Chains A and B, each alone.
Chain A
Amino acid sequence: MYLKGPDELERLRKQVIEGKKAEEGQKRVVLCTGTGCRGAGALEVSEAFQKELDRSSDIELKRTCCHGFCERGPITVIEPMGVFYQMVSPEQVSQIIAETVKKGEVIEDLLYKDPKTGENIRYEKDIPFYMRQMRLVFGHNRLIDPTRIEDYLATGGYKALTKALFGMSPEQIIEEVKRSGLRGRGGGGFPAGRKWENCRRAGADVKYVICNCDEGDPGAYMDRSLMEGNPHRVLEGMIIGAYAIGASEGYVYVRNEYPLAVQNVGIAIKQAEKMGLLGENILGSGFKFTISINRGGGAFVAGESTALMASIEGQVAEPRAKHIHTVESGLWERPTNLNNVETWANVPVIIERGADSYSNIGTEGSKGTKIFSLVGKINNTGLIEVPMGMTLREIVHDIGGGIPGGKKFKAVQTGGPSGGCIPEALMELPVDFDELTKAGSMMGSGGMIVMDESTCMVDVAKYFTNFLRDESCGKCTSCREGTLRMYEVLDDITKGKGREGDIELLEELGWVTAEASLCGLGQTAPNPVLSTIHYFRDEYEAHIRDKKCPAGVCRDLITYDIDTELCIACGKCKKECPVEAITGEKKVPHEIDQDKCIRCGTCMEVCPEDAVKVQ
């Protein structure tokens, strides 16, 4: 259906909403088939449901994308009851249909059990993981089948676009975004409204807007899940932005490793074109705007704005100096406004609710909410959305549910591979752009990797430095050689070859890498090293001076021993040892031959008595 004007859009929305109302009481299985749940087997569950439902025409299966609580996937909500089932397997499907969908009986085993109270929880809203969140941008994912534009319209989709096109001038929109305090969610945190304003002012016949969906941080997937789960929301933000800026062409630059995101945004673009929400004369307003998809080849640095533009142009993704801003001369030397997925997805909320309402959320310098991907040594792995300014403690302990296995929290790395590691002492830090920077880390695009006491901070710094060494584009001497040499020094330290002066050398290298490099990758690359030196200097010193790894991680600096008092001589370690380094007979405590031992830790893992100790 081609919509000729805003009235027709509203008529259609009314129809869709009335249709949904008529379906009230409809028996429906809502299943997350986002990438996280797919990893846990959601497609098999979906198939099992489909098979069952083929026999009962009155039950509907709705496949959404990410609900956020990935730790507990596959996630299913049974409507109209709204009961929330977790870790659903294909074998449980027929029971769910027979008992819950048909008879309204709750299967206790499938409910989420609060580890603190031991009680089963029926509804999503009552689960601690969700209770403290504010899911302004991400919340609609659970209501939407991303392949159906009607679902998006039912949540109020494209209302903001109508308001912008028919009730606001481009200048008013920019003013609204400026007043909202929205800052770029991709890493830089630059005020979005100011960027738009500068791009609008740049005179040119053709201007571009770009959506950056080249999320490449290990363990981070918020942009992916937004694009997979609610692509129209991102498109709506882009169309509003393009109208405000005066752009007629847009690009979605999305990683090719995100096949579902590529697919869903592709479907969404076609639907929007068909309905007159994209293309010539959008909703009869006279505004013309088209969007093309560009798939990225997987280089981390291609997420840097100028490198991304080079990549769209068909060049090697290599950043250039930005003394001439991309809002003046970007893609094909035309004014170009680039924002990331989450930034664009915030725009419809701001336009619809107004800047004042939006800027009530968050802190002085960081407004609105932020989506974080909470991963690592944490009980509730998943995607969370919280108001800016929530403390790290609330995020890690209240929402994240703390550290598994009764271990102690050690640090959280924020902002992706080039973020810093923040220690326990700063757990009361309110998380926003400025506070994270002050603590030697950064917001980045919102990755949060939690580490427990069994993590070696030198090893962590080495891991991320190696990632950045590998992903540096190699243009700047400071970044290419700096990350390489920092990695070499760190590698030596973890292998017991550290020397006095290595910490100072790392600090020097970190300084020149940050100060002399051209783009954000190089400028932030030393963060993992410098922040761990700052907060965990004693661990570096233990490695260098005492040739010890206090966390028991660095293989060359540890020894495994069997406590003869605790050993029950069960023979498990002897059997599992890959190098036959363990000797011992029945009823005789076992021993490890240190010359043969490769310090893989297998004996420690399999010992039922915790008799294997690491030093």
Chain B
Amino acid sequence: MSEKELVRFKIDGLEVEAERGSMLLPVALDYGFEIPHLCHHEAVSPYGACRLCLVEVTKNGRTRMTTSCTYPVEDVIEVSTDTDQIRRARRLLLELLLARSSRAELIQRVAKEAGVTETRFKAVDDDCILCGLCERVCREVVEANAISFVNRGDRKEVAPPFWDPMACIACGACVYICPTDCIKMEEKGDERTIVRWKRTLKMQKCKSCGKPFAPLFQLNWIIDKASLPKDFYDVCPVCKQMG
């Protein structure tokens, strides 16, 4: 295999290098630069929705503000992560997010770090900030495609396609990745529910210990997808390990 090609450029005056094709935000974070971000996660592809990771990129003498999560690194660029313009834009973005999700602890904290504690707009309390992480993790990582964007503009929401959660395997990846914790999972008896999607599935009971350990629908979905033996999940992973 050929060696990965490296590019060299500057962030806030510091010489850095990164693989060609990488996006600016993860490179900058690796080098220890502090750039706030809400819709970025290393497990999924870049999206560029929250706009908080704005930086200024100077290329061929032209400077412009752009989101670092969607900017592919290049040799010739100089990056500034903390200018007056950037701070001003971030504060306004956070004020807008604080008005949308006034109760979300994460938003309150990130806003406070940027010096924003109040909003001039009518506050509502939708905890979902439409970062799209749940949609991406479900599509790209789990490959269940059970979450999509519905509607547009300020009526946009994440929801199962056609509001029917039939494809959801209740794996909980969306619960795990949601930065504002607005997707909740509950387990009662032998049932698991992903509250936001209104998906309740019966859990498989381990033939050895008798404890419910994962939704039957999910296990069959994995067996099908990975062509595993039909009885592969009769016993829970814990019992299986103990033999």
Complex CA distance for A509 and B88, rounded to whole angstroms:
11
**B188: interface (CB < 8 Å):** no
A residues in contact with B121, CB < 8 Å = 485, 488
Candidate in A472, A483, A505 with the most chain B CB atoms within 10 angstroms: A472
Contact between A469 and B154 (Cβ–Cβ < 8 Å)?
Answer: yes
B residues in contact with A472, CB < 8 Å = 152-154
Contact between A474 and B154 (Cβ–Cβ < 8 Å)?
Answer: yes
Smallest CB separation, B176 vs chain A (Å): 23
Residue-by-residue, is A440-480 near B (CB-CB < 8 Å gives 1, otherwise 0)? 00000000000000000000000000000111111111101
Number of chain A residues close to chain B: CB under 8 A: 34
Contact between B97 and A477 (Cβ–Cβ < 8 Å)?
Answer: yes
Contact between A299 and B54 (Cβ–Cβ < 8 Å)?
Answer: no
Classify the interface of chain B: helix, strand, loop or mixed: mixed
**B173: interface (CB < 8 Å):** no
**B148: interface (CB < 8 Å):** yes
Contact between A480 and B154 (Cβ–Cβ < 8 Å)?
Answer: yes
A residues in contact with B46, CB < 8 Å = 321
Contact between B152 and A516 (Cβ–Cβ < 8 Å)?
Answer: no
**B230: interface (CB < 8 Å):** no
Contact between A512 and B130 (Cβ–Cβ < 8 Å)?
Answer: no
Enumerate A191-209 residues with CB–CB distance to B below 8 Å.
none
Contact between A474 and B89 (Cβ–Cβ < 8 Å)?
Answer: no
Question: Which of B65, B66, B132, B153 is within 8 Å of A480, CB to CB?
Answer: B153
Contact between B71 and A323 (Cβ–Cβ < 8 Å)?
Answer: yes
**B122: interface (CB < 8 Å):** yes
Complex CA distance for A475 and B148, rounded to whole angstroms:
13
**B62: interface (CB < 8 Å):** no
**A484: interface (CB < 8 Å):** yes
B residues in contact with A516, CB < 8 Å = 51, 54, 65, 89, 92-93
How many residue pairs link A and B with beta carbons under 8 A? The number is 103
Smallest CB separation, A417 vs chain B (Å): 13
B96 to chain A: closest residue by CB:
A481
Complex CA distance for A532 and B9, rounded to whole angstroms:
42
A478 to chain B: closest residue by CB:
B51
Residue-by-residue, is A557-584 near B (CB-CB < 8 Å gives 1, otherwise 0)? 0000000000000000000000000000
Contact between A321 and B67 (Cβ–Cβ < 8 Å)?
Answer: yes
Complex CA distance for A476 and B49, rounded to whole angstroms:
4
Known: A481-B96, A485-B121, A516-B93. A476 touches B152 (CB 8 A): no
Enumerate A512-530 residues with CB–CB distance to B below 8 Å.
512, 515-518
Contact between B153 and A518 (Cβ–Cβ < 8 Å)?
Answer: no
A residues in contact with B152, CB < 8 Å = 299, 301, 470-474
Contact between B50 and A477 (Cβ–Cβ < 8 Å)?
Answer: yes
A residues in contact with B65, CB < 8 Å = 515-516
Candidate in B46, B71, B129, B149 with the most chain A CB atoms within 10 angstroms: B149
Enumerate A494-515 residues with CB–CB distance to B below 8 Å.
505, 508-509, 511-512, 515
A residues in contact with B100, CB < 8 Å = 481
Contact between A485 and B99 (Cβ–Cβ < 8 Å)?
Answer: yes
A residues in contact with B149, CB < 8 Å = 316, 318, 474
Complex CA distance for A470 and B51, rounded to whole angstroms:
20
Known: A323-B72, A485-B99. A478 touches B153 (CB 8 A): no
Candidate in B46, B48, B99, B152 with the most chain A CB atoms within 10 angstroms: B152
B residues in contact with A415, CB < 8 Å = none
Contact between A512 and B154 (Cβ–Cβ < 8 Å)?
Answer: no
Residue-by-residue, is B84-123 near A (CB-CB < 8 Å gives 1, otherwise 0)? 0100110011001101100000000000000000001110
Known: A474-B130, A475-B49. A482 touches B120 (CB 8 A): no
Complex CA distance for A299 and B149, rounded to whole angstroms:
14
**A324: interface (CB < 8 Å):** yes
Complex CA distance for A480 and B153, rounded to whole angstroms:
5
**B58: interface (CB < 8 Å):** no
Smallest CB separation, B2 vs chain A (Å): 18
Contact between A508 and B92 (Cβ–Cβ < 8 Å)?
Answer: yes
Question: Which of A324, A483, A518 is within 8 Å of B72, CB to CB?
Answer: A324
A residues in contact with B130, CB < 8 Å = 474-475, 477, 480
Extra inter-chain contacts (20) besides given A321-B67, A478-B89, A483-B154, CB under 8 Å: A318-B149, A324-B72, A470-B152, A470-B153, A471-B152, A472-B154, A473-B153, A474-B154, A475-B130, A476-B48, A476-B51, A477-B97, A477-B130, A481-B99, A505-B120, A511-B92, A512-B92, A512-B93, A516-B51, A516-B89
Interface residues of B (CB under 8 A from A): 46-52, 54, 65-67, 70-72, 85, 88-89, 92-93, 96-97, 99-100, 120-122, 129-130, 132, 148-149, 151-156
Interface residues of A (CB under 8 A from B): 299, 301, 316, 318, 320-321, 323-324, 469-478, 480-485, 488, 505, 508-509, 511-512, 515-518
Between-chain CB contacts (< 8 Å), 6 pairs: A481-B96, A483-B153, A484-B153, A515-B85, A516-B54, A518-B70
